[in-house]
Amino acid sequence: MRVDLDWGGERLTLEIGDANWIPLQRSAPVPAVKDVAAAVRAALEEPMGFPALRRALTPDDHVAIAVDESVPGPTRFLVPLLEHLESAGVAPAAVTLLCLPPSTGQPWLEDLPDAFQDVQVEVHDPSDRKKLSYLATTKKGRRIYLNRTAVDSEQLIVLNRLTYDPLVGVTAGDAMVFPGLADAESHADILERLSLETPDSPDWETRQEAGEVSWLLGAPFLLQVVAGEDDEVAHVVSGTVESSRGVEKLLHARWRVEVERPADVVIATITGDPRRQTMLELGRAFQAAARVVKSGGKIVLLTRAAPRLGPSAEIMRGEEEPGQALRMLMREKPADLEAAFLWTSAAEQAKLYLLSDIPAEDVEEMFVTPLEEVGQAKRFVGTNLSCIVLPDANQTLAVLRQS
């Protein structure tokens, strides 16, 4: 069996014996959106369960846009969105783009047209009380403090990419509001809920709390994206929080796959712009592969990413074993815990190998064997080893088929 595998702007060809290859079972492929700007305009004019967004706005409104920087090419979505706001009389100077930490530094802002240079940009700081505002108390007694700009705006718009997540199951738009825009204390508290349960389950406590907080805030407008492969876009959908369940079905149809049995080796990749690929994306890829690899098996991840290593990486590098690191991480609760939780959990399940642009000495200290070149990946496809190939593993929910 010849398998062509795209990764990091390159292509790897693997020869896998027919008896060893374990195929992915998935829905029919979804064609990529050809004109993203047109898809955004259509979504804003015909949201799910909501009139056209401009009909809810006045020229005096201040608008906050919470931007998920993992959206493939944020300006492809922001430009038609800002044009839509202008059609309602909202000036660019009355718009604030809210980015969640850790931010990429917003290199994509350079692609905004000059007409929108007056748009304000703010990186949410969950530890700065002056930039937080008390919203309400939830039914379970949590006092909710959210980003002040979001609370004070007449309209909050959330631009987000749906994907799988160990804290909320699925990162729908309400998760961008809470815990995304919440205070540091709330975020640290709910990190206790990190889970390796199947993300497509509806019973995620934090997701339910996110829905309540969004309702208390007053129905933010969601512009939600289901990504395709290699920075393509599969779906663009807008509407209220209530519309998210329908969008989740689109996510599962595109990215949920099943396999008949676990494999000795999983070859996983990440495609798209490596500048957008954070430690969280690498952690998601490792964990997606860990779901379908045998205990003690091998996971090989191919990417050109060189993400910034945050406090979680420093904790990992200070421990000898992944289990020790995980216990220390859960005790310290650094802000980027989710990435390390997935990474170390995968390292407990299997032996990890990584080809990336992260310095090899750093990789070695995080329970991973670094690879020097892509040809080394072919050595893992042995004659007696079962193999699963998992493209775009950072976006994929891979599960074992139920008998």
pLDDT digits (tens, 9 = 90+) for 29-70: 788 999 999 999 999 999 988 889 999 999 999 999 999 999
Cis ω on the peptide bond leading into residue 311 (within 30° of 0)? no
Q: Which of 252, 285, 310 is the last residue of a domain?
A: 252
H-helix or E-strand spanning residue 347: helix 337-349
Question: What are the two backbone dihedrals, phi and then psi, of residue 162, each rounded to the nearest 5 degrees?
Answer: -80, 130
User: What pLDDT was estimated at residue 270?
Assistant: 96
C-alpha–C-alpha distance, residues 171 and 166, integer Å: 9
Check residue 106 and give its pLDDT: 86
Claim to verify: residue 162 and residue 194 sit in the same structural domain: yes
Residue 176 belongs to a domain:
yes
Q: What distance in Å separates the CA atoms of residue 381 and residue 396, rounded to the nearest whole number? A: 21
Q: What is the pLDDT of residue 23?
A: 93
Any domain includes 30: no
Q: Are residues 270 and 211 in the same domain?
A: no
Overall residue count recorded for the chain in this entry: 403
Could you give the number of structural domains in the chain? 2
Q: Spell out the per-residue pLDDT of the chain, length 403, in tens.
A: 888 888 988 898 988 888 899 999 988 778 899 999 999 999 999 998 888 999 999 999 999 999 999 999 999 999 999 999 999 999 999 999 999 987 778 888 999 999 999 999 999 999 999 999 999 999 999 999 999 999 999 999 999 999 999 999 999 889 999 999 999 999 999 999 999 988 866 678 998 999 999 999 988 999 999 999 999 999 999 998 877 778 899 999 999 999 999 999 999 999 998 888 899 999 999 999 999 999 999 999 999 999 989 999 999 999 999 999 999 999 999 989 999 999 999 999 999 999 999 999 999 999 999 999 999 999 998 778 999 999 999 999 999 988 6
Domain boundary among 224, 252, 280: 252
Report the 10 Å Cβ neighbour count for 201: 11
Same structural domain, 316 and 298:
yes
Do 9 and 97 sit in the same domain of this protein? no
Amino acid present at 33? V
Instruction: Report the largest interatomic distance among the alpha carbons of the chain, rounded to a whole angstrom.
Output: 68
What pLDDT score does 266 carry?
A: 97
pLDDT of residue 202: 64
pLDDT for the residue numbered 27: 84
Tell me if 192 sits within 8 A of 21, measured CB to CB: no
The answer to the question of residue 340 being in a domain is yes
The CATH number of whichever domain residue 74 belongs to comes to 3.40.50.11440
Domain boundary among 217, 252, 287: 252
CA dist., res. 62 & res. 369, Å (int): 50
Q: Which of 232, 322, 248 is nearest to 283 (CA)?
A: 322
Position 101 in a domain: yes
Rg (CA), the chain: 21
- Within a domain: 134: yes
What pLDDT, on a 0 to 100 scale, did the predictor assign at position 373? 94
Whole domain around residue 98: which residue ranges?
A: 36-252
Predicted pLDDT at 120: 96
246 and 340, same domain (yes or no): no
Read off the CATH number of the domain in which 360 is found.
3.90.226.30
pLDDT at 402: 81
178 and 247: one domain? yes
Are the beta carbons of 52 and 239 closer than 8 angstroms?
no
Assess whether 269 and 219 both reside in one domain: no
152 and 301 assigned to the same domain = no
pLDDT at 403: 63
Reading across the β-sheet that carries 120-123, which strands appear in turn?
120-123, 95-99, 63-67, 155-161, 221-227, 233-239
User: Does residue 31 lie in a domain region?
Assistant: no
Both 212 and 277 in one domain: the answer is: no
Same-domain check for residues 266 and 193? no
* Same structural domain, 178 and 115: yes
269 and 336 together in one domain: yes
Cα–Cα distance, 147 to 159 (Å, whole number):
16
